[in-house]
Amino acid sequence: MMDGPRLRTGAAVVVVGALIVAGFSTLLYGEWVSAQPDPWAEVVGSVNVQGWGSFGNVVYDPVNRQVYVDSARPGSWYPGQNVTILNPATGRIVGSVPAGPEPAAMTVDTRNGNVLVADSSSAYGGWAERFNITELSGSNNTPLWSTPLDFIPSALAFDPVNGLVYVGGYGNPSFANLTVLDPATGEIVAETRGEASAVAVDPAMGLVLFANTTRGPPTVMVMDGNTQRLVKNVTTGTEPWGYASPSMAYDPQTGEIFESGVSLSNVRRASFSVFNATSGFVAASDVPLPGEDGIGASIVYDGQNGRLYALGWECGGGSSGSGCVIAIDGRTHAILGTVPVGSEPNSIAFDPQNGDLYLSDSGGARVWFVSTQAAAPPPLTSLPNASGLLLGLALGVVLVAVGAREMWAGRQGGEHRVPEWVRAAERAEERASRTLFEKPSTWFLMTLTVLGAILLLALLAG
């Protein structure tokens, strides 16, 4: 037969233990969450770039630790003739280099720090067709060579594995608007038909990605970096063409490509898609980004935090002049949050050496410096109340285990039937023979006493 008193005692102890576990777990989690760094990024400063146009691109040179932005011709609406160099350590402008009437894209040769600039001087009319790629020395910022092109360049990417530069552009679709350059000489080593407004490199798999700008479903053309031949198309859910340069970023931790651009479902919003260039599998499609305008389409990868950062306009509930930088979890593809910065942020670069972001703000003619190095989450043992809370949590677990054992023993108390008067006599005899620590009331009072002492210690420690 079952031992009713023992079963009830065990159940009471289990309930008390479970309540203690739940209470202390909640307190401990709340204590840890309240100690998390907030926000995840902080705007640390900005520098004005005089006479900036509407589409300022920005890149970071990790070799010479300089930031390059294209600045505008005075009185001009679109990008202009100079590339401005900033020292991010001091926040000061250290130089300016002529780079064609309309610098449209830039990339950095990470082996030597040289900067390649694409000039699309006739993209908006009024200029003779004079498209070219110019390489600037990262050490002294002087032009090294310039190569003419037959199309309007709009995107550049450097492959650190084969040392080549990939150029995407548009114009006549029958032209070879996808070009491969050797930055050591400036010579064109391969050309392929197609149009592209964004370029990214998957160095692990030796692939190059071109966001297709032609009419039809949004696709990304995949090129073999060894043969320089297009091998496949991947249909994504984000339109890779808009008022501002779209962007793609490679996440080496997951092997995925993040593409930002204009949402297919709402042309007034930006969105991003995620896909694997090798398999063609699209993991996320047309995910909306915060903000009410789909212009600020730029995205970079942060290997220190496993995040990607995109840009948004009108992030303050649709109010004009409220830009933001958006954090995206590289594994879950979830939006982690936004930090207000600038009015119309257009291009973004990441500094892997200090975790800073550099944002060009075409609305405010500024370059913003944003730190992503928020304090790491503190360990539980460093929290003021951690010792008391962990001790209380352990006590709750012990009580649950003891109570469960009592319940099991009570259920296994016997299997033969006896008269009720015999069981009553046995219970009376059992109660009379119990020691102090075998009585349920003693356990209950001890539990309350220990719980009160732990709470008092935790409050005193805090």
User: Are 27 and 82 contained in the same domain?
Assistant: no
Structural domain of residue 76, as residue ranges?
53-295
User: Are 15 and 142 contained in the same domain?
Assistant: no
CA pair distance 124, 160, nearest whole angstrom: 32
User: Are 18 and 144 contained in the same domain?
Assistant: no
User: Are 26 and 124 contained in the same domain?
Assistant: no
**Does residue 306 fall inside a structural domain?**
no
**Does residue 327 fall inside a structural domain?**
no
User: Are 204 and 86 contained in the same domain?
Assistant: yes
User: Are 414 and 286 contained in the same domain?
Assistant: no
- Nearest Cα residue to 225 out of 162, 149, 140, 293: 162
Question: Which one of 236, 270, 295 terminates a domain?
Answer: 295
User: Are 11 and 61 contained in the same domain?
Assistant: no
**Bridge-partner residues for 143, per DSSP?**
136
User: Are 143 and 218 contained in the same domain?
Assistant: yes
Bridge pairing between strands 187-192 and 178-182: antiparallel
pLDDT by 10s per residue, the chain, length 462:
555 666 566 566 566 666 666 665 665 555 544 545 446 778 888 888 865 444 578 999 999 999 999 865 544 444 446 788 999 999 898 988 877 777 788 999 999 999 999 887 654 444 345 578 889 998 898 889 999 888 888 889 999 999 999 999 887 666 668 899 999 999 999 998 888 888 999 999 999 999 876 666 778 899 999 999 999 988 887 765 444 455 889 999 899 999 887 766 665 677 888 999 888 888 888 888 887 655 556 899 998 888 999 988 888 665 556 888 889 999 999 888 888 888 888 889 999 988 999 998 877 788 999 998 764 444 544 445 555 555 555 666 666 666 666 666 666 554 445 556 556 656 666 655 555 445 555 556 666 666 666 665 655 555
> Looking at the 3D structure of the chain, how many domains does it have?
2
User: Are 21 and 140 contained in the same domain?
Assistant: no
* Global pTM value: 0.70
**Does residue 58 fall inside a structural domain?**
yes
Question: Which one of 262, 295, 328 terminates a domain?
Answer: 295
**Does residue 341 fall inside a structural domain?**
no
Which domain CATH number covers 260? Answer: 2.130.10.10
**Does residue 359 fall inside a structural domain?**
no
**Does residue 312 fall inside a structural domain?**
no
User: Are 29 and 166 contained in the same domain?
Assistant: no
Buried b (16+ CB within 10 A) or exposed e, 271-289: bbbbbbbeeeebebbbbeb
Burial classification of residue 231, based on how many CB atoms lie within 10 Å of its CB (0-12 exposed, 13-18 middle, 19 or more buried): exposed
Question: Which one of 295, 319, 342 terminates a domain?
Answer: 295
